[in-house]
Amino acid sequence: MRFPRCVLPVIGITTLFAFCAHAQSTQAALKANAFALDISDTTLNKRLLEIFGPHRIIMMGEMHGTQEPARFVSYAVDQLLKAGKTINLGLEIPAVQMQDFTAAPSAKSLKQSAFFRTGFPDGRPGSAWFNLIDMYIGNKDVHLFFFDSDPDAGTIDYDKHMHAVVRNVMMQHAEATTVLLSGNIHNRLIPFSGGKTLACYLQQDTTLLTPAGVLSINHQFKFGAMENVTSEGFGIHKIEPAPTSFSEAVPFKMYFSTLDKNAGPYNAVFYTEEVTPSIAMTAR
C-alpha cells in the first residue's frame, strides 16, 4: 500500500514516527540529489557516470512486466560503454532456459529460447527483456549472462544461488562493471521476510566490491500499467495515480537520484511518471 502523506490508520506511535521520518529523509535526499533524465539522449551523461564510477556492481530492480527498468539498463550500459568500460550484463533468467541462445547467440535463437518461447507467467519474458538482450548480441564489450536458478532443480535459497552465479562471472571478468536486472526484492540491500537477498550476499562479499559497495536502484512511478501476476491472475493491470514522496518532491517527469543509504532498502531511484507494460513474447 502506498500512503501519500504521513497519515496512517491507527498504529503504534513508534511505527508512525519511523514512517514519517523515512518519508522526510527520502524527500530531503530527492530535493538535494535528483536530476532530470532523458534516456533517449545519446550524449555522455557525466553526472550519472560520476555516480556509477565508484561502484563495481549496479543493480536495477523492477516490478516485472514493465518497460522502463530494462530501458534504463540499456541507457546505463550505453553510458558505461561510452566511458570506455566493459560490462557484465546479467538478467534474472534461468541459464538452463537460455542454453540454445548462449550456444549460438542471435535474434532467432533468442526468440526460440525456452524462456521466451514458453515464458514464466510473471512478466519477465516480455518485449522489454527481449529487446535488452537483443541490443547487445555480438557486442564484444558486453558479456551477457543469466543468473536465476533452474526452476526444476529444487533450489531452496534462490538468492544464494544467484550470488554464486554472479560471483563466478565477476571473477572471470574482473575488469568489467557488472549490471544486473532483477525483480525488486532481489536487489534490496536489507533482508526481506527474514531472508538474505542477492544484494545482501553481494554487499557482504568483500572480494567483489569496491569501498562504495553495491549501487541498488529502485524504479518508482506515479501511474500506468504493467503485465504481470496479481491476485486477479496474469494480465495487464492498471496502476491508478498515487502521489508519493517520489512523485511530489521534485518536478521532473523522469529523474535519477541517490538516496540516504540508511533510509531504506535501496540507495538510488530511477523515477518515471508513467509505467508501461512489457507484453509477453508468447503473445507476438
Positions of the chain with pLDDT lower than 50, given as ranges: 1-11, 13-19
Query: What's the pLDDT score for residue 117?
Result: 92
242 lies in a domain?
yes
Give the HSE-up count for residue 243: Cα atoms under 13 Å, Cβ half-sphere.
9
Q: Are 95 and 157 in contact (CB under 8 A)?
A: no
21 lies in a domain?
no
275 lies in a domain?
yes
Domain that holds residue 73: 37-283
CATH number for the domain harbouring residue 146: 3.40.50
239 lies in a domain?
yes
86 lies in a domain?
yes
C-alpha cell at 100: 540454445
22 lies in a domain?
no
24 lies in a domain?
no
Interatomic CA distance for residues 213 and 77, integer angstroms: 19
Span 1-24, pLDDT tens digits:
222 333 344 445 444 334 455 677
pTM value? Answer: 0.91
15 lies in a domain?
no
Q: Where are the beta strands (DSSP E) in the chain?
A: 35-36, 57-62, 87-94, 142-148, 177-183, 214-230, 233-239, 254-258, 268-275
Q: How many domains are contained in the chain?
A: 1
Distance in angstroms between the alpha carbons of the first and the last residue of the chain:
33
Query: What's the pLDDT score for residue 11?
Result: 45
Residue 182: closest CA among 124, 239, 134, 230: 124
CB-based burial of residue 122 (10 Å sphere; 0-12 exposed, 13-18 middle, 19+ buried)?
Answer: middle
Interatomic CA distance for residues 217 and 215, integer angstroms: 6
Written as one letter, the residue type at 136 is Y
Query: What's the pLDDT score for residue 42?
Result: 95
Query: What's the pLDDT score for residue 21?
Result: 54
Query: What's the pLDDT score for residue 22?
Result: 62
